[in-house]
Amino acid sequence: MELFKLITEIIKQRKSCRTFEPKPIEKEILEKITDSLANITVPFGSKVRFQLIDISNLPDEESKKLGTYRIIKGAKTFITGAVVSDSAKCWEDFGYGLEKIILFATQFEIGTCWLGGTFNRASFSKKINLQPNEILPAITPIGYPAQKSSLTDSAIRKMAGSDKRKLWNELFFKESFNNPLNEAGDETYYQPLSMLRLAPSASNRQPWRIVKQNNKLHFYLQRTTGYNKLVSVDLQRIDMGIAMCHFELTAKHIGLKGDWITETPSVINLLPRTEYIVSWVEK
Ligand SMILES: Cc1cc2nc3c(=O)[nH]c(=O)nc-3n(C[C@H](O)[C@H](O)[C@H](O)COP(=O)(O)O)c2cc1C
């Protein structure tokens, strides 16, 4: 998947958009985005598929069914997809894959917004002919951002604190969770970690915690208490896949080589509600 802008610029540019211009996406750009859907590879090898859904020509009734509880205004095109549910890391793979597509689209000034809760999952599942062994974790609208955001959009941003991120020393650690890392603490991984920190996450909970030990960075998920009870989808593991995507694309961009491995480390006085997900190992 070819990027035409610097990945760091694309990541800084992306923010959730919930209010769209009514004008359709230019044909050439839509074609590029459609092509990108077919070429997504994911780190844990789950079977994922992504699909574009255009609702501009649907009869009113049907497009209302696909509505997104009035949270998204003006969007006529969506990207959704499915992942086969029997793979252990299907949520992370889906998160990683759809975020790659979102970053690809962002470089063409296309607005997006991860939706894991506020959309009609049943109608979208029907639209993509979801199979019994598949799940549909999330969707995103795509389109040109409106000049002015709707009140709902501003209210959601404010409620989630979307313009803020946790401090470095709440997210990143060296050797063990007892030893927080600040911005000056790791020259080599400063950029990949900075770009990971800008990742979107459900309700902006930022559940990612990273511990660097020698040539490995261990990725942990610290679950938010009482979160995710209402949805059948593991939103916080999708968040982890998104964070992996930001980290890996930035690391590769600055010439760092590495691989993802799953090998529970002998770490490390775990924080409460924390589980190990994956490690990045320098090559
Ligand atoms: C997995 C996931 C699910 C999300 N679900 C919703 C949703 O259902 N409705 C919504 O309005 N925003 C949703 N969001 C968007 C987040 O609220 C948003 O990413 C976060 O507040 C950070 O803001 P930013 O994306 O502008 O950086 C979701 C984000 C992620 C990553």
Q: Does 200 sit in the ligand 1 pocket, CB within 6 Å?
A: yes
Confidence at residue 1, expressed as pLDDT on a 0 to 100 scale: 78
Please indicate, yes or no, whether residues 276 and 192 belong to a single structural domain of this protein. yes
Tokens standing for residue 130:
């979801």
Tell me, in angstroms, the distance from the centre of ligand 1 to residue 157's CA. Answer: 9
- Of 11, 72, 201, 245, best ligand 1 pocket probe by most atoms within 8 Å of the beta carbon: 201
Confidence at residue 229, expressed as pLDDT on a 0 to 100 scale: 59
- Tell me which residue range forms the domain holding 238: 168-282
Tens of pLDDT, residues 167-181: 999 999 999 999 999
Check which CATH number belongs to the domain holding 92 and give it.
3.40.109.10
Confidence at residue 267, expressed as pLDDT on a 0 to 100 scale: 65
Tens of pLDDT, residues 74-127: 999 999 999 999 999 999 999 999 999 999 999 999 999 999 988 999 999 999
Tell me, in angstroms, the distance from the centre of ligand 1 to residue 239's CA. Answer: 10
Residue 2: inside a domain: no
Q: Does 11 sit in the ligand 1 pocket, CB within 6 Å?
A: no
Tell me, in angstroms, the distance from the centre of ligand 1 to residue 160's CA. Answer: 8
Residue 163: inside a domain: no
Neighbours of 247 (CB within 10 A): 27
Please indicate, yes or no, whether residues 219 and 146 belong to a single structural domain of this protein. no
Q: Does 201 sit in the ligand 1 pocket, CB within 6 Å?
A: yes
Q: Does 162 sit in the ligand 1 pocket, CB within 6 Å?
A: yes
- CA nearest to 119, candidates 131, 110, 128: 128
Confidence at residue 283, expressed as pLDDT on a 0 to 100 scale: 92
Atom of ligand 1 nearest to the CA of 200: 19
Q: Does 195 sit in the ligand 1 pocket, CB within 6 Å?
A: no
Number of domains, the chain: 2
Q: Whose CA is nearest to atom 28 of ligand 1?
A: 202
DSSP H/E element including 99: helix 90-106
Residue 92: inside a domain: yes
Contact 134, 156 (CB under 8 A): no
- CA nearest to 124, candidates 220, 58, 177, 198: 58
Q: Does 193 sit in the ligand 1 pocket, CB within 6 Å?
A: no
**pTM score, two decimals?**
0.97
Q: Does 117 sit in the ligand 1 pocket, CB within 6 Å?
A: yes
Low-confidence ranges of the chain (pLDDT < 70): 69, 228-231, 267
Please indicate, yes or no, whether residues 188 and 144 belong to a single structural domain of this protein. no
Contact 235, 92 (CB under 8 A): no
Q: Does 114 sit in the ligand 1 pocket, CB within 6 Å?
A: yes
Confidence at residue 17, expressed as pLDDT on a 0 to 100 scale: 97
Neighbours of 46 (CB within 10 A): 21
Please indicate, yes or no, whether residues 78 and 181 belong to a single structural domain of this protein. no
Please indicate, yes or no, whether residues 105 and 27 belong to a single structural domain of this protein. yes
Strand partners for 220: 209, 276
Residue 119: inside a domain: yes
Residue 64: inside a domain: yes
Q: Does 236 sit in the ligand 1 pocket, CB within 6 Å?
A: no
Query: Which of residues 121, 155, 189 is at a domain's end?
Result: 155
